Amino acid sequence: MRTSVQQAIASLPVPEGWTWRVVVRPRRRTLGIEVAPTGDVVFSVPGDADPDAVAAAVRSRLPRLAEEVRRRQASTEEPVKKLVSGTEFRYLGRRYRLKRVRGGAEGAVPGVRLHQGWLELAWPVDAAEGGRRITEWYTARGNRWLAARMPPLATRIGVSPTAVVARDTGDRWGECGPDGLVAVHWAVMQLAPALVDVVLAHELTHLAVPGHGARFRHRLRLALPDFDDREKLFADEVGGLWRGAVL
């Protein structure tokens, strides 16, 4: 069945520069389309999907999908940070400068913290360890912020997630599991709250609607009437998110 669906999609005018694949997910009821930060496309289909119906659905979405792939491919070069004082980091849309401070002495900061408008990093530490500490800081702060942010949004969408966490979700900005756990990539915490909500609301809605069709977007728009505008801003911003690479 997978080959049949792949052949049906391959028969469409899919641009030559695309990298795409079909994944069969037996628990799905509708077609799902995801565009990775690299521009790769994943078509998730139910186990009993009709190849012709899948092809028709993909064809109808090609113009919008092509724009999203183009935008992602144009921003595939991952930002790299040099851990020197003055390097800029963002948290919830605000910009902070890195300050290297002496670690180990009495009164010195452990690891990483925001202090008096600076993002302080205890020094000395090698670049790899410094980068790891900063990503852990984003994760810990993100866990607390998301836990407070989620309840009112979940109520508006009409779902009951078990929990929400910030973590490395690989090539996805967010994900949700059958157990009701919602995860947001820690790097998303660099964005303004309204844009973090794009990922959070998207994953919360998936707890009720598995696909990305009309029902899915209708439910999103009920919770966030300006979701389409936020989604466009999010797409413009994510290419510049730092994901842990350091010099």
Q: What is the pLDDT of residue 229?
A: 95
Round the CA-based radius of gyration of the chain to a whole number and report it: 20
Does residue 150 contact residue 169 with C-beta atoms inside 8 Å? no
Q: What is the pLDDT of residue 107?
A: 43
Q: What is the pLDDT of residue 110?
A: 65
Does residue 42 contact residue 34 with C-beta atoms inside 8 Å? yes
Indicate the domain borders of the chain. Answer: 2-73, 88-240
Model pTM score: 0.74
Please spell the DSSP secondary structure of the chain, one letter per residue.
Answer: -HHHHHHHHHTS---TT--EEEEE-TT-SS-EEEE-TTS-EEEEE-TT--HHHHHHHHHHHHHHHHHHHHHHHTT-S---B--STT-EEEETTEEEEEEEEE-SSTTPPPSEEEETTEEEEEES--HHHHHHHHHHHHHHHHHHHHHHHHHHHHHHHT---SEEEEE--TT-SEEE-TTSEEEEEGGGGGS-HHHHHHHHHHHHHHTT--SSSHHHHHHHHHH-TTHHHHHHHHHHHGGG---S-B-
Q: What is the pLDDT of residue 2?
A: 47
CA–CA separation, 83 and 120 (whole Å)? 11
pLDDT one digit per residue (tens) for the chain, 247 residues = 445 888 888 899 988 788 898 988 888 888 888 888 778 899 999 988 899 999 999 999 898 888 888 877 765 567 999 999 999 999 999 999 999 998 754 444 568 999 999 999 999 889 999 999 999 999 999 999 999 999 999 999 999 999 999 999 988 899 999 999 999 999 999 999 999 999 999 999 999 998 888 899 999 999 999 999 999 999 889 989 999 999 8
CA–CA separation, 93 and 95 (whole Å)? 7
Q: What is the pLDDT of residue 100?
A: 94
Q: What is the pLDDT of residue 34?
A: 87
CA–CA separation, 174 and 192 (whole Å)? 16
The CATH number fitting domain 88-240, selected from 3.40.630.40, 2.40.160.20, 3.30.2010.10, 3.40.640.10: 3.30.2010.10
